[in-house]
Every structure is written in C-alpha cells, then in structure tokens.
A and B are shown apart, each in its own frame.
Chain A
C-alpha cells in the first residue's frame, strides 16, 4: 500500500472540492484532492451551467440571491474565460401572473441585483428568438459558466501552487485514530492500487456522495436527492439566458452554453439508493420540450443533441428523516464541533455559482484548525486563463484560434503553436486541435477520451464523436503510451450514447444510424476480439469492455 502524508485531504473533484484544493494551496497548505471518477463528473457537470445573478432566488430566498450576485461579480473577474456575460431575461407570458413582474423587480432591488424592464419589442430586439407572445421582460445580469473548465482551471491553479489531484481514486474508508479523523484509505479504480493518505484535516466535499463518506464515521448527514433532467440542442437558439418571470418551476430556464443551448430542469425526488442509476425518462423529455418551446418557439424545430440528468444534494441536518429541516443554502459542518469527531469537515449544499464561497468557508475552517492565518485570495486572484494577455495566433484560422481562446483564455497561447501538426483540427464541430488535446493530457490531467471531452469539448458537437473519437484516441494513446485506446473508443461512444438514447428521433437517430454503421461496419469495432485474446467479444463485453478492463484487477 502506498502511503502519503499531507496537511489536508479533500474528497470530491467537483467545483467545490477543486475550489478548496486551490484555496488551501494558495494559503500555503499541502493539499491533495481525491476523486473517484474524473473532475466535474458529478452534480457540478450536470446542471445548467447558469451564472446566476441571483434573480431566480430573489423572491423566495433573499439570502441565496445576495450570495449569488456577489459571487457573480467575483467570477466575472477571476474566471473570465469560464464565464460568458450574456445577460438574462425573465419573460412574462400570457399564461403567467402579470403582477409577478413588479414583485420580482422589487425583490431584486432588495438583493442588490440590477434590473431593467423591457417592452416586448425591446426584448425581441435583444433576443430575436424569444417567444413573441411575451407581455414583458426584465433584464438581469445572468450569464453562463462552463463547469468543466471552471473546475479544471481551479485544479490547474492549485497544482501550480503545489496542490495535487488524484483522480480515479475512490475513498473506501476514513482513517480514524483515537477519536480523530486523520486520513483516508483509497483505491485507484484504474490500477487497483491501494493508497493511504494521512492528513490533519479531511474535507468532505463529495456532494451527494458525502452521506456515504460520513457513514464511514457513523455520522448522520442525510441527503434528499432530487433528480434534474436537461436537454441540449444543436446550436445556440438564444443569446441570453431566458427564464420565466414566475415562481421557479420545471423546465423554465433556457441557457446558451458555448455552441449549444440547454433547457432544464425537471425536479423529482428519488431514493438515495437510486443515485447511481438515474436516467432521463420520455415523460421528462416531453415536459422539457413543451416548456422550452414556450421560451423560444424555434426549439420545436431544433435538433436535440442529448439529454442528461444530475442529482441535487439537498441536505437535512440532524436525525430528522422527514426532510422538514431541508436546506438549500450552504452547509458547513465541522464534525469536531458538532459530533465530537475532530479532523473532518463537511461542506455541502449550495450551488455551482457559490462554489468559491463554499470553498472559502471550508478552507477558513481548515485554516483555523491548523492555525493557518493566511487570508483567502481566491476572490481577487484570477484563475489561469482569466488573464488579459492577448493570444497572437495568425497561423490558424479565426474559428480555430477563437474557439481555443474561448475555452482556455490566455493559456491558449501554450498550444496555438507555429507547428502544423499541433494546429491540425481533430474535432471539427468544436474546433479542437491536436495541440489542445496534448495540452489537456499534459496539463489538465485528462487521462482518456472521456476526460478529454470535459477539458476540450472533443466529441460534444453534433457528430457526437463519430468522426473525432478515433482521431483523438490515437493521439491519447501516442501520448500516454497506454494501449487501451481501442477500449476507450467504445467507452466514449457508449458514454455519448447514454445521452443520445432518450432523444433518439429525427436527426439524432440519423446521426446514430451513421455512427453505428461507421463504427461497426466500416471500422468493425464490434468484431475486435477482447484484449486477452480469448476470441470474439460478446455483446455485453463490447458494451462494458472499458469498465471491465479497468476494474478487472
């Protein structure tokens, strides 16, 4: 067993965990983050990617609204390249209560969120695809945030300050010694290697999975998982975030995210035991489409690329099983104070939007326990990529350099080289070059195709990987020297398929039909014998080949 010693170990590679890693590292603490899968693979990467202005919460939860608008302003500065300042509209449709608009504007004013009331004509001018039946709109400083790149940028910055990421490392137990948590036992899920990490402070930032972490210490933190489903459409049907000006309800936010738009979310309470097996149902698809059309009628004839769902970690403190004391705000628990078990801090609840604040709160608690007096600087120091240096790349076309800068800010200069091989476009839908892929593997801890997608958008466009997966797999295999590139293609395509299957009609079905033909007929993927040479694969083997090989040890 490998043994590592550090000051702080953080469990969970979502935005919050990455934020804690960065904050700890910046304050001079030695810190290691362990994540059982890849970064941003949980709830962080499965939501709208909405940079709230707080307006959505203004009427119902003023405290959250104030948190949001404060973080909104901070992120627009420190995470410039992960943010798009699109602005947002809260539209009133004929079926909505017309008086709500005034209530809404007043509440926003109280929370310090600037608003501007637009006439229908003005709204249509700034957002031509918005439902022309609207009665009015309020403009607010909503925006969009890319959760994958935000998390990756936090990790990258943390690493540059000495922090470490161990992804694909699952915590299997807490190390408890003399009434004190003093580390975690982990397993690398790819190699099977066992690792013990000893630390003075353990931060549980595992989100919905945090309940299991607490159970290792027989502590009670009860999660009430709520599933939320979303749809992605092929291109940006809207330029601004569009909300309904009414009390928050299902499927009433349409967010432009990078090259696409997202409609969501539904909300359904599910048993905790189901959190690993959630899927988007046909009924949810119908609701999302019907409500999406009300925001932007063009949705009705726009191709849906994918569907996905995530789990919101709503939390109940204490032993109350009813969920009456459920909290939607940030929850910070120092188990030393609450449960008499020092060494463990749980940070949960909150939103993607407030990840930095949550990280600051958790790190403050850690610092206090460790006697570290360094001030938090995450609100003022820009993340890598958020700088203002210009990237000069005359050797590539505007769509290529523009897309690279959009994703990586000034760090794009590191891979937009004067080298034809590096500048060759690999993913044609999203304009990802070989250089960007190499950068993601070398600098952003991408280990395989699926990880690569979250760092670069490889395979996230309309083709859903059928053209670029093999190209990228070949490059990753060259770079990592690992020979399971073939398995990684199947795993990647299966991951894509999971999102396509709930919306399999029209052009998505055509795309899948072609993809199936190319993968299995032209390239004969299914005919590949398994790597141990025991003859051809069965259907199940192909489906789960990647996983089997990984966990086979």
Chain B
C-alpha cells in the first residue's frame, strides 16, 4: 500500500552565476494520510526547498534534478506544469511563514479565498463566497461576513495566518504543507494557530508536512520527524524516539541547546560550534564532521548513507550505525546462546 506522499532520494539544484548548486540531496521520507511529519533543521538546511519542490514552486532557477516525489500514486516529478497546477490549492495546499506579506494587499481577503474555490471546485461566485465566509468562521475569525470584505492590512498577523489557513484548507486538501507557520507570530498566537491546525486536521483528515526549526512545535504537532542538516536528512524517526533517544550527534546537540526551565545551574547553554557549511564548500565525508564532537577518521573520508538504527529509525552517522550494529550482533549472539 503506497503512502499518500513518498519522497525518494530527492535532489534539488539551483542555477546560479557560479554554476549549479545542489541545495537538497538524498532526501527521502514517507507520509501517510492523516499523519503529521515535521522537517526540522537550521536555516538554510533545505527544509523550505524540500517543501517547495513538492509544490513545484521552486521558481525559474530551481529544479528537481534526481529522485521522485509521488503523491497519491502519481509521480509529481514527471507531471506537466498544468497537472501540478491543478493539484496545487486543491489536493496539496501550503501556508507560509510570513502572514504579513503572503496575502495580496489590494484584494479583499474573501475574494482571495474565493479564487481558490472557483478555480478548483468550480462553484459559482455566490456559493464560493458563502464557502469562503464559512471557512473564515471555521478558523476562528470573528464576524467572518464583514471581515471577508476587508483588505489584509486591516488584520493582525495571527488573523492573517488564520486567513492563510482558511485559504489553504478551503478545497479540503489531502496534504497541507506548513512552512514555519508560527515563526512570525507571538508565542500565545503560536499556540492558538497550532491548536487550530490540529483541530482542522482531525476534522478533515489531511496529512500535514510541517517545516520548522522549533523543536517545541515538533513535540506539539508531529508523529514523525526528519532532521535535516546541510541539505541532507540526517535522522528520521518517530517523535518519541527523537526526544528520548536521538542517535545522530547533530540531533543530540540540537536537543541539548534548548533552554530548560527545570535546570537550576547557571551554566551557559551548550551551542553547536562552527557554522553550517555553504553549498559551494561541502565538506567531504559526513557533512557534519567538522562540528561533530565524536568525529572519527572514517567520518572525514566516507559519506554515510541513511542507515537503520532500530525499528522505524534511520540515521546518517557512522558512529550511531556501528553502535547499532554491535547491538544487533549482541542480540544475535544472545539468541543463539
């Protein structure tokens, strides 16, 4: 049984003045209907590029170079522009990071939602309008009828993000891609928006692909998590395992760098030394090895593949893999004994 969304060994390249740059490499994951997967990572690690490549919105300079994206059994990477366009906004919808600038300032918000409805559901204007107002009500906009005639500048950031969610969900997509949906919002509004997304997901059964750098949001929302570093998936697992037993040194370091209220010592928060390598100068071997406390000689030379590290847990790390290998060997010895 195929999953709703399958991304296999995705490689995305951008044409630049300095030649071609590989921005995302070897990204694979699967997402079932109704599930939530989170892509976590630092700025520039390829999270947003991955999500945009699913939408086919990489822009004029970007393209999927290798790998497949399959949605509902259809290979998106082979689809024509028109086929992709028909999927966008109907079966796959997206909400963006910047609610302040993601709405068209000169078109009333009701009309911006209606556009989608008339395009995909082919409803006449009057019914589209009614549906848009209904949707605004669903996302918790007060006086939806009146607000639908307002322009975006009259609304606050949280309200605009609600409008974006209404716009994304109005055609009942099977997959909602949320690219840092709460990053630009106040903390209290963040919680409301996440709550709203969860509630609407429960009602509609949509799968969510959540792009974020906020591990708090991951814990709140996700079933599965993939951690990205320098354009690659470094660890993929379910959310409990990620927080309980992270395997990749990068994931471990990320988790350690979250400030905790229950720790009383005033030691400095551990930070990951160094910086994310630039796309032009990727280190050989494991891309994390220059910043990794446990790097060995092998890590400097050989690039690790994504290897199994237990049930549904994959990790791109030589050290974690050899530890897992030992565990498997030990279990085998135990079993034969």
| Chains A and B bind each other | no
Q: B residues near A, CB below 8 A? A: none
